[in-house]
Amino acid sequence: MAERRKSMHGEWSSRWVFIMAATGSAVGLGNIWKFPYITGENGGGAFVLLYLLCIAIIGIPIMMAEILIGRRGRQSPINTMATLAKEASHSPHWKFLGWSGVVAGFLILSYYSVIAGWALSYVFRSAGGSFDGASADEVGAIFDGLLASPESLLAWHTIFIVMTMMVVARGVRHGLEKAIRFLMPTLFMLLLILVGYALNTGAFSQGLEFLFSPDFSKLSQDSVLVAMGHAFFTLSLGMGAIMIYGSYVPHKASITGTTFYIAGADTMVALVAGMAIFPIVFANGLEPGAGPGLIFVTLPIAFGQMPGGLFFGTLFFVLIVFAAWSSAISLIEPAITWLVENKGMKRATASIGAGIVTWFVGVGTVLSFNLWSGYKLFDKTFFDLLDYLTANIMLPLGGLMIAVFAGWIMTKQATQEELHMHDHFGYRMWRFLVRYVTPLGVTVVFLNAIGVI
């Protein structure tokens, strides 16, 4: 093989550390905030089934592809794509795939940070007792009040960007890792406690039925695209985040086992979050399709009623902030590594620059919930458009190209070497998926969304 490359940004100390970091990237607002509300908007069970299907046949093979590409190139996604394309005697223009990922990362982080800001503000609301014994209407009013205030949203958005850039400046490997190690399991435990609460709401079976019994007539024209887009979003795929984390993976670590672990953990968190939230929705006569505010108007009701709710509620929002934090740093890491590699910048300088750009774009999202809420394009606000463009178009398109790159551009020998697999069944299956099933699947979903099929 070609001489093994080394990353100038370092390496994870073990496979386990990589699993933690990649799970930290995958598990975030996507699982706890977005999955429940889009499931609610798209009618429940059938949507969940589509999402699981996309995880299995599109997400998992692409995650393996991203990690192996990253580890083989060991540079920022932009430079990795150029290097590996040249190595396989193809055009270095493949680097544009890296670029589109960097742009997607900026755009996603710009609104991700605003939503993480909601969670931040809820930490203080919970701790201050605002939700204590609050009715659904009272909680709804608190949430509406937050959205109506550009100043508060902007302040929380600013704090979250600063938090993110502080960790990024120090380097991912020295940043959040230690914290994630125990915060993630705690978050999962708290979700289980919420499920325990949901069991006693009297609407548990209604919630489960909504989530798990598929009724395809409830799907809309857009639902399949949204389900696929979310599979990419929740697994952090299609933009180079997992690729850059893959570039720090030690050579001997197994990519396949690791991928199943990350995808499994991510999916479990989303499903458990759904099992906690929907019973509360139904028990309180709330609307499952209420939109992006869903968890912010449901979970506080539960915390306001349960014993120890002040403590659990505060802790829960703290943990969501951490989950968002560990995802946010991976959104910007591909850009930072490129600035360091190509512009010779220090990580700290690169982080400040990236933070400022992201902050400005985020102002658009802040205003889209209040002053600009009337300005719409295709019936979507600035935030809706950004979310739709990134999650449903840019990430799947990036993922499709990554699959093509791993399946058609890289040599068979190169991918076999990275996956540590010979020509046996597992490898052939993976290669078949990335060469045919994934690109075709994404294309079909796109065509379906624009009404061609």
CB 268, min distance to ligand PFF, A: 13
SS3 of 284, please?
coil
Task: Give the x-and-dash track for 360-389 against ligand PFF (CB under 6 A).
Answer: ------------------------------
Please answer whether residues 76 and 98 qualify as being in contact, where contact means their C-beta atoms are separated by less than 8 angstroms. yes
Name the closest residue to ligand PFF (Cβ).
30
How far is C-alpha 300 from the geometric centre of its chain's CA atoms? Answer: 23
CB 272, min distance to ligand PFF, A: 14
358 binds ligand PFF (CB under 6 A): no
CB 194, min distance to ligand PFF, A: 18
SS3 of 380, please?
strand
Q: Which two tokens stand for residue 448?
A: 């379906």
C-alpha closest to that of 232 among 450, 435, 21, 438: 438
- Rank residues 25 and 392 by Cβ distance to ligand PFF and give the closer one: 25
Number of residues lying near ligand PFF (CB under 6 A): 15
31 binds ligand PFF (CB under 6 A): yes
Long-range contacts of 150-154 (CB under 8 A, 24+ apart): 150/366, 150/367, 150/370, 150/371, 152/121, 153/114, 153/117, 153/118, 153/366, 153/369, 153/370, 154/363, 154/366
- Rank residues 275 and 331 by Cβ distance to ligand PFF and give the closer one: 331
User: Integer distance in angstroms from the first to the last C-alpha of the chain?
Assistant: 44
Task: Give the x-and-dash track for 85-124 against ligand PFF (CB under 6 A).
Answer: -----------------------x----------------
How far is C-alpha 80 from the geometric centre of its chain's CA atoms? Answer: 22
76 binds ligand PFF (CB under 6 A): no
Using CB under 6 A, pick the residue from 83, 330, 415, 438 that binds ligand PFF: 330
327 binds ligand PFF (CB under 6 A): yes
Q: Which two tokens stand for residue 260?
A: 């199943």
Residues 256-275 that bind ligand PFF (CB under 6 A): none
CB 323, min distance to ligand PFF, A: 7
Instruction: Please name the residues in contact with 307: beta carbons below 8 A apart, sequence gap of 6 or more.
Output: none
- Which region among 184-192, 276-284, 326-334, 372-380 touches ligand PFF (by CB under 6 A)? 326-334
Amino acid at 114: V
Using CB under 6 A, pick the residue from 24, 30, 45, 73 that binds ligand PFF: 30
- Rank residues 21 and 29 by Cβ distance to ligand PFF and give the closer one: 29
Question: Rounded to an integer, what distance in angstroms lies between the CA atom of residue 182 and that of residue 167?
Answer: 18
29 binds ligand PFF (CB under 6 A): yes
Q: Which two tokens stand for residue 59?
A: 């997400």
Using CB under 6 A, pick the residue from 19, 26, 184, 403 that binds ligand PFF: 26
Instruction: Please name the residues in contact with 338: beta carbons below 8 A apart, sequence gap of 6 or more.
Output: 76, 77, 78, 79, 98, 102
- Rank residues 28 and 396 by Cβ distance to ligand PFF and give the closer one: 28
Using CB under 6 A, pick the residue from 54, 68, 142, 331 that binds ligand PFF: 331
Task: Work out whether the CA dihedral 264, 268, 271, 273 comes out positive or negative.
Answer: negative
- Rank residues 210 and 325 by Cβ distance to ligand PFF and give the closer one: 325
55 binds ligand PFF (CB under 6 A): no
Question: Is residue 370 classed exposed, middle or buried when 0-12, 13-18 and 19+ CB atoms within 10 A define those classes?
Answer: middle
- Rank residues 112 and 430 by Cβ distance to ligand PFF and give the closer one: 112
- Rank residues 30 and 36 by Cβ distance to ligand PFF and give the closer one: 30
CB 231, min distance to ligand PFF, A: 10
CB 71, min distance to ligand PFF, A: 17
The total number of residues shown for the chain amounts to 453
Question: Is residue 109 classed exposed, middle or buried when 0-12, 13-18 and 19+ CB atoms within 10 A define those classes?
Answer: buried
CB 189, min distance to ligand PFF, A: 19
How far is C-alpha 139 from the geometric centre of its chain's CA atoms? Answer: 26
Neighbours of 111 (CB within 10 A): 25
Residues 192-251 that bind ligand PFF (CB under 6 A): 233-234, 236, 239, 241
Positions touching ligand PFF (CB under 6 A) are 25-26, 28-31, 108, 233-234, 236, 239, 241, 327, 330-331
